[in-house]
Amino acid sequence: MLLVAVHPWDIHGADAAGMQTAWINRSGSRYPGYFTQPTFEAQSLPSLARQLS
């Protein structure tokens, strides 16, 4: 199972529940270091789909 989200706190919670995660970084900002890092990072859903294929 993979949670796809734009909010780092959602990524952090899903990781704590044992899920893989994907952060859609629409703004190009830096991921907050105090949250668990996502499994995948992409700028859009199409670019995430390319990573996963």
Q: Which of 16, 23, 19 shows the shortest CA–CA distance to 2?
A: 19
* pLDDT above 70: percentage of residues in the chain: 100
Q: What mean pLDDT comes out for the span 32-42?
A: 97
Q: Give the Cα separation of 23 and 5 in Å (integer).
A: 5
Average pLDDT, the chain: 97
pTM: 0.92
